[in-house]
């Protein structure tokens, strides 16, 4: 059983490609069913965020190309469009990669904590659809354990650095006193919740939160003294806000150029600051062409993010050591798991041979045979049956020059090495 990670991220693919490969919640059930049925993957999990789409798999070692073809077809792309941006990690590298992702070391913002929650959601979704088995379950659990150690034993999370934080930092360069500004947050997930917290810390007092579900919008908004609205109400309030930050899972844009143009006329061209964190994008790219609109996407946040990353580089080196140790621990557990399965099969075979010999002995006793003779025959029969096939295979391996098999036999049974140049001829078994 091979472990594989396949995907694209912010380092290998531009936003335009990442948004075409993103999975919407509505198609997850279909994706899990097709992925396992057509690619040779017996276990699967899908992580889809604004910065990455990754597939975590347990299955055939040669299923990578089948997965690439499936992923391309599922999203209506040509394989060639994905190949140059696609990466594949196998076994130990797949383990290390997931732990780096969970710990925030592979994120655009080094050490950002949101990815751990997103990875936990991906695992929960895989379990919900019956796609995660013993191998991926153990991998996710170990990755979460390592990520927790990284968070608590290093300084990688001390400074509030994230995509949300970077977005708010950019807003502070445009508005000198943010206490006078009104913010419209579109979406009500963890990223928007974090944006709201950073905006409040930056001085923003007036909040509107728009979401498909009004109840969730109200809950998040009221926590900051704001008001929740539905997505359909956005055009009516757009002229009254100064900051728009959006992060939803909508497959289509929520805010279009026409709506922003109408709002700008009402605002007498007072500037807008907008950040679209979503993939696929929530705000039409054409909005950026309007005067008095400063529109940024996740890819535009690189400058702010790179400045903040430098403060975390020392902690990242410590984190890498924890991840290396965590990878080795997991691989040891995996090898032990394989040993358990092999030993179970070995014991079952031994018990079958034992039962056959016992049944022969019982028949002899019922027929009046001498008990001592029967017991001695039982012992010989069990010994011969258990040792016959291993003896044949050891002789064969030794004749082929694979002397390590004999060495393993000595180690397993704590046998002393013969001093004689030629060992005595063993009794025929």
Query: pLDDT tens-digit profile of 217-226?
Result: 999 999 999 9
Residue 403: exposure state from Cβ atoms within 10 A (0-12, 13-18, ≥19) = exposed
Looking at residue 301, what is its pLDDT? 81
Give the position of tokens 């080094």. 110
What is the per-residue pLDDT across 258-310, written as a single tens digit (0 to 9) for each?
999 999 999 988 899 999 999 899 999 999 999 999 999 988 887 777 776 77
Place of tokens 């970077």: 166
The residues with which 209 forms a beta bridge, in sequence order, are 185, 228
pLDDT digits (tens, 9 = 90+) for 180-209: 999 999 999 988 999 999 999 899 999 999
Q: What is the mean pLDDT of residues 79-100?
A: 94
3-state SS, residue 163:
helix
Residue whose structure tokens are 């609109």 = 293
Confidence band, pLDDT 50/70/90 cuts, at residue 147: very high
**Closest C-alpha to 284, from 340, 106, 409, 293:** 293
- For residue 155, pLDDT over 90 is answered with no
Helix or strand holding residue 2 (H, E)? strand 2-9
Q: What is the mean pLDDT of residues 71-75?
A: 95
Query: Angle of helix 134-153 relative to helix 92-102, nearest 10 degrees?
Result: 50
Task: Assess contact for 312 and 150: CB atoms under 8 A.
Answer: no
**CA distances to 241, 249, 251, 263, 362 from 238, in Å:** 6, 21, 21, 6, 90
Q: What is the pLDDT of residue 214?
A: 95
Torsion of CA 71, 74, 80, 83, to 10 degrees: -20
Cβ atoms of residues 119 and 47 within 8 Å = yes
- % of the chain at pLDDT higher than 90: 62
pLDDT number for residue 106: 92
Model confidence at 323, pLDDT cuts 50, 70, 90, reads: very high
For the chain, how many residues are written? 429
Task: Work out the percent of the chain whose per-residue pLDDT is above 70.
Answer: 95
Full DSSP string of 254-291: SB-HHHHHHHHHHHTT--EEEEE--SS-SB-GGGGGST
Q: Which residues are catalytic?
A: 50
pLDDT band at 117 (very low <50, low <70, confident <90, very high): very high
Using the CB atoms, write b or e for 334-358: b if 16+ within 10 Å: beeeeeeeeeeeeeeeeeebeeebe
Q: Is 4 helix (H, G, I), strand (E, B) or coil?
A: strand
Q: Is the pTM of this model over 0.85?
A: no
CA separation for the pair 141, 249 (Å, rounded): 26
Q: What is the pLDDT of residue 161?
A: 64
Predicted pLDDT of residue 418: 65
- The whole-number pLDDT of residue 414 equals 82
- Range with lowest mean pLDDT among 142-151, 200-209, 234-243, 409-418: 409-418
Edge-to-edge strand ranges of the sheet holding 2-9: 41-48, 52-59, 2-9, 87-90
- The residue whose two tokens read 């057509």 is 38
Per-residue pLDDT, 337: 72
**What pLDDT is recorded for position 267?**
92
Residue 321, SS3?
A: helix
CB of 195 within 8 A of CB of 168?
yes
Residue 289 has what pLDDT?
Answer: 95
pLDDT tens per residue across span 348-389: 888 998 999 899 999 999 999 999 999 999 999 899 988 888
Asked if pLDDT for residue 426 goes beyond 50, the answer is no
pLDDT, tens only, 384-414: 988 888 888 888 888 888 888 888 888 888 8
Give me the chain's average pLDDT, please: 89
Closest CA to 53 of 27, 139, 42: 27
| Gyration radius from the chain CA atoms | 31
The first and second tokens of residue 305, run together, are 């993010």
């Amino acid at each position: 059983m091979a472990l594989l990670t396949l995907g694209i991220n912010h380092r290998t693919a531009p936003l335009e490609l990442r948004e075409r490969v993103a999975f919407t919640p509505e198609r997850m059930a279909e994706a899990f069913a097709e992925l396992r049925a057509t690619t040779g993957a017996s276990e699967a999990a899908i992580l889809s965020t604004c910065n990455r789409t990754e597939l975590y798999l347990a299955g055939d070692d040669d299923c990578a190309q089948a997965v690439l073809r499936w992923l391309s077809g599922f999203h209506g792309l040509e394989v060639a469009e994905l190949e140059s941006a696609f990466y594949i990690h196998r076994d130990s590298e797949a383990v290390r990669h997931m732990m780096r992702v969970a710990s925030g070391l592979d994120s655009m913002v080094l050490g950002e904590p949101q990815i751990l929650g997103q990875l936990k959601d991906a695992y929960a979704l895989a379990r919900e659809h019956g796609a995660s088995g013993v191998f991926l379950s153990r991998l996710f659990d170990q990755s979460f354990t390592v990520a927790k150690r990284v968070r608590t034993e290093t300084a990688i999370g001390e400074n509030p650095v994230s995509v949300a934080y970077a977005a708010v930092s950019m807003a502070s360069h445009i508005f000198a006193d943010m206490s006078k500004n009104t913010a419209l947050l579109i979406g009500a997930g963890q990223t928007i919740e974090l944006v709201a917290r950073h905006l409040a810390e930056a001085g923003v007092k007036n909040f509107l939160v728009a979401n498909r579900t009004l109840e969730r919008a109200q809950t998040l908004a009221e926590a900051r003294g704001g008001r929740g609205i539905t997505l359909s109400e956005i055009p009516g309030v757009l002229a009254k806000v100064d900051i728009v930050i959006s992060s939803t899972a909508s497959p289509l844009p929520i805010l279009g150029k026409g709506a922003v143009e109408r709002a700008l006329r009402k605002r007498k061209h007072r500037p807008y600051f907008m950040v679209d964190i979503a993939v696929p994008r929530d705000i039409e790219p054409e909005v950026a062409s309007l005067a008095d609109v400063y529109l940024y996407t996740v890819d535009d946040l690189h400058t702010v993010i790179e400045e903040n990353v430098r403060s975390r580089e020392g902690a990242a080196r410590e984190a890498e050591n924890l991840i290396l140790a965590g990878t080795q621990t997991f691989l040891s557990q995996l090898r032990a798991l394989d040993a358990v399965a092999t030993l179970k099969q070995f014991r079952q075979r031994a018990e079958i041979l034992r039962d056959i010999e016992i049944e022969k002995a019982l028949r002899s006793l019922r027929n009046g045979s001498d008990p001592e003779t029967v017991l001695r025959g039982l012992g010989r029969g069990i010994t011969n049956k258990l040792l016959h096939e291993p003896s044949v295979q050891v002789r064969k391996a030794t004749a082929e020059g694979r002397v390590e098999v004999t060495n393993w036999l000595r180690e397993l049974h704590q046998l002393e090495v013969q001093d004689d140049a030629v060992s005595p001829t063993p009794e025929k078994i």
